[in-house]
Structure 1
Amino acid sequence: MTVLSRRGMLALALGALLPAVAGAGALARASGPAPYFPPPGEWARKSPAELGMDPAALAAAVQFAQSRETTRAVDFSDQEATFGSRLGSMPTRRAASSGLVIYKGYVVAQFGDTHFVDPTYSVAKSMLATVAGVAVRDGRIQVDEPVARRVDDGGYASAQNAAITWKQHLQQETEWEGSLFGKNADFIGKAAFGAGERKPRVLGPPGSFYEYNDVRINRFALSLLRVFGQALPEVFQQQVMDPIGASNSWKWVPYHNSYVDLNGKQVPSVSGGTRWGGGMWIDSWDLARFGYLWLRGGAWKGKQIIAPDYVQAALRPSAHGPDYGYLWWLNTKGKNLPGLPANAYAALGAGSNSIVISPDHDLVIVWRWHAGNAADFAAKVVASIRH
């Protein structure tokens, strides 16, 4: 090989490299400044106009949200008629409707008592999905493996339950059979399940049928406790809430009878909701931080709390669910969150309590104790965005 040919090859290599470098630089410039992350105890505000929103339209959206108070009893006296006999504590009262709008990382609107610590019902399911994401990150589980490979406490010993995977738990397609903490997975019994009582049906194989089922979600939570060897509220605090600067006012309340033996110690197994009491009790600001973590792809100030591929998988619809991911409600068909983009998604709890996330708009909306679809408010906020 001649010297000239070596130079020619070097020039060719540089010629191929330079456009790629230039393209990377252009991409970095196009991506704009690094996103803002609120420090613990505060969250920066910007005026709607400063961020390109129509202040009057946003104010009208907030007024609309404030006028849609839930019909749920303020003292939770409707709890047992709606959901059945309690297994855990309930507050003596709830707050009125409240909310936060986080746009481009900044607070642009808030209303109601956003510091009130209230049960958030099934929003806790999306938090369980986050704890599972930590378990995947740390190599404690793989979503497609049978749970029985890691958990040997009798809960997966039957022929029906042995093949259940973590992914099926995350998508509510396990068809798990059995009872846990005094509630059966069939949801049969008026006293135990209230208006949520269901008619008997024949179970299919795991992965064949979607059913929104808190007994099975509670089994999932117990299984996560087993693989961590630690109470999930501790995991959630150490691995998620502390890193994102959440307050210390939230608490994940167990049932009275959901303590299990872990190496000779009584440890609480928590629920994925407040259907039978207990559950995640939290204020709106901490809910907003949690939603913002997901909006930012599971990262917070350069730390990847949840792996990007897990976040992507969590936001893909399951085979049998009603546009449902890993314990998140999706909008790929435009039905769950009408008026919002197909990639919008939400954590939804009874009452209603909701976190709506719209990546296309760099938007997180917390709306608590409201009537109607969570998208009713979100779509009006989106309409106030001018550019």
Structure 2
Amino acid sequence: MTRCAIPARLASLLLFLTAAMPAAAQPLAVPARIPATAPVSALPAADAFFTDPRLGETRALIVMQGGQRIYERYGTGIGPGTRLISWSMAKSITATLIGELVGDGKLQLDVPAPVPEWRADARGKITLRQLLHMASGVKHIEAGPQPEIADTNRALFADTSADIYKAAVTEPAEVPPGTRFQYNTLTSHILARIVADSIAPGADPATRRAKTRQFINDRLAGPAGMPSLLCEFDPAGTLYGGSLCHATARDWAAFGQLYLDGGVVAGVQVVRPDWVQFVRTPSPANPGYGGQFWLNRRPADGKDRALFWRVGPADAFAAIGHLGQYVIVVPSKRLVIVRLGKTQDDVLQPVRDGLARLVASVP
């Protein structure tokens, strides 16, 4: 593929993938712990997401407090049964799967990550914890003014997309592990492959795909009440663990509620409480990032890239995705907010400000 052909392909693929993903023909089940209907409170700060053009296109907004939906609204042509794309919120799904395997004793945080391709060089010292913290130290181009040369775009859409894991593990060491935070979507794809290799070692692509899907359903989607959760795989059978999961807004809210409630759903411990604590604990290289979740803390570079650390609350943490996808958890207010839509990343600050106002408006 020529260099000039890649941007056009990227543009068409991005246009397709940012459209709302339709639900299956049959109505999706609604988790029993989230009522099928709920009163909609008067929340002007929430309505603004559908009336203020500065906030871009909001496709779904749900506000839950104390496990009850107090606000729910959708954009034109979208409803409770519409699957919507995660983009990088998938990273938090992948972290949850890793946490299950750590709890099972199949993985350990502070030993070299099980990446065979790294064993013979400096990358062999990178730990699973450092991968989760985006502190591997490998060279990487996440994005930039030339999207056709960004490692993440190439691996998702272009010349290295046949095997996203292979593209990820090819990235060379650049600085010692643990010394630098660098957001790296390919890191999350490595984590997804580690999940597959832990539950189906040596499997062929079809088996790897099937086993991973079953693991997602058995350990997360089923017990957490997320029946619509649908994650995609590359041709080699590796989960797109950093980018491509789809679920209804209500199921994304169920994911937030799972973490708000300390990993417990209907009295059952779905995610271990120590894992919930781990993902929301500031990482050494960036206090604004935990274990594949963003934290409402001052980031290492002091910039506004994720939440609203300048105005609090400090205990908020979130799964965040490209174009303004958010599942925000605020333990101090027993609050979960889901905003799904399409706002260009370079004009997201009004969305972040709007989310801060929304959080502040809920007693």
Q: Same fold (TM over 0.5)?
A: yes
1:378, CA displacement in angstroms? Answer: 3.4
Letter in 2 for 1:236: I
Q: 1:105 to 1:380 in 2, by over 3 A?
A: same
Aligned equivalent of 2:224: 244
Aligned equivalent of 1:253: 232
- Give, in whole Å, the separation in 1 of the partners of 2:142 and 2:85: 22
1:287, CA displacement in angstroms? Answer: 0.5
Pick aligned residue for 1:354 from 315, 326, 329? 326
- Give, in whole Å, the separation in 2 of the partners of 1:117 and 1:287: 10
Q: 3-state DSSP class of the match of 2:191?
A: helix
1:265-284 matched pairs, under 5 angstroms? 268-274=237-243, 279-284=244-249
1:213, CA displacement in angstroms? Answer: 1.0
- Give, in whole Å, the separation in 2 of the partners of 1:45 and 1:132: 33
Aligned equivalent of 1:205: 176
| Structure 2 residue 97 is the aligned partner of structure 1 residue 131 | yes
Pick aligned residue for 1:235 from 199, 211, 215? 215
- Give, in whole Å, the separation in 2 of the partners of 1:103 and 1:191: 42
- Give, in whole Å, the separation in 2 of the partners of 1:160 and 1:167: 16
Structure with the largest fraction of helix: 2
- Give, in whole Å, the separation in 2 of the partners of 1:202 and 1:161: 6
1:368, CA displacement in angstroms? Answer: 0.7
Aligned equivalent of 1:15: none
Pick aligned residue for 1:168 from 123, 126, 130? 130
1:128, CA displacement in angstroms? Answer: 0.8
Unaligned runs of 5+ in 2: 1-29, 155-170, 201-207
- Give, in whole Å, the separation in 2 of the partners of 1:324 and 1:242: 28
| Structure 2 residue 317 is the aligned partner of structure 1 residue 325 | no
- Give, in whole Å, the separation in 2 of the partners of 1:346 and 1:70: 22
Q: 1:345 to 1:41 in 2, by over 3 A?
A: closer
1:41, CA displacement in angstroms? Answer: 8.5
- Give, in whole Å, the separation in 2 of the partners of 1:328 and 1:46: 28
Could you tell me whether the CA contact under 8 Å between 2:138 and 2:172 is conserved in 1? no
- Give, in whole Å, the separation in 2 of the partners of 1:325 and 1:158: 29
Unaligned runs of 5+ in 1: 1-37, 49-54, 73-94, 178-184, 260-267
Is the radius of gyration larger for structure 1 or structure 2? 1
1:362, CA displacement in angstroms? Answer: 0.5
Letter in 1 for 2:108: Q
1:1-387 matched pairs, under 5 angstroms? 39-40=31-32, 43=35, 47=39, 55-56=41-42, 58=43, 60-68=44-52, 97-112=59-74, 113=78, 114-148=80-114, 151=115, 154-176=116-138, 185=140, 191-193=148-150, 203-229=174-200, 231-247=211-227, 249-255=228-234, 257=235, 259=236, 268-274=237-243, 279-321=244-286, 323-333=288-298, 336-338=307-309, 339-371=311-343, 372-373=348-349, 375-386=352-363
Once the two structures are superposed, residues 53-112 of structure 1 have per-residue CA deviations (whole angstroms, 9 ceiling, x without a partner) of xx44x1x1122111356898xxxxxxxxxxxxxxxxxxxxxx952111111111111111
Could you tell me whether the CA contact under 8 Å between 2:94 and 2:242 is conserved in 1? no
Equivalences, count: 291
Q: 1:237 to 1:46 in 2, by over 3 A?
A: same
The alignment's TM-score, normalised by the length of structure 2, stands at: 0.71
Q: 1:253 to 1:196 in 2, by over 3 A?
A: closer
Q: 3-state DSSP class of the match of 2:358?
A: helix
- Give, in whole Å, the separation in 2 of the partners of 1:333 and 1:43: 36
Could you tell me whether the CA contact under 8 Å between 1:333 and 1:342 is conserved in 2? no
Q: 1:66 to 1:118 in 2, by over 3 A?
A: same
Q: 1:123 to 1:187 in 2, by over 3 A?
A: closer
- Give, in whole Å, the separation in 2 of the partners of 1:109 and 1:232: 34
Could you tell me whether the CA contact under 8 Å between 1:298 and 1:311 is conserved in 2? yes
Letter in 1 for 2:253: A
Letter in 1 for 2:219: Q
- Give, in whole Å, the separation in 2 of the partners of 1:212 and 1:382: 26
1:45, CA displacement in angstroms? Answer: 5.2
Letter in 2 for 1:254: F
1:355, CA displacement in angstroms? Answer: 0.5
Q: 1:273 to 1:68 in 2, by over 3 A?
A: farther
- Give, in whole Å, the separation in 1 of the partners of 2:292 and 2:87: 13
Q: 1:195 to 1:385 in 2, by over 3 A?
A: closer
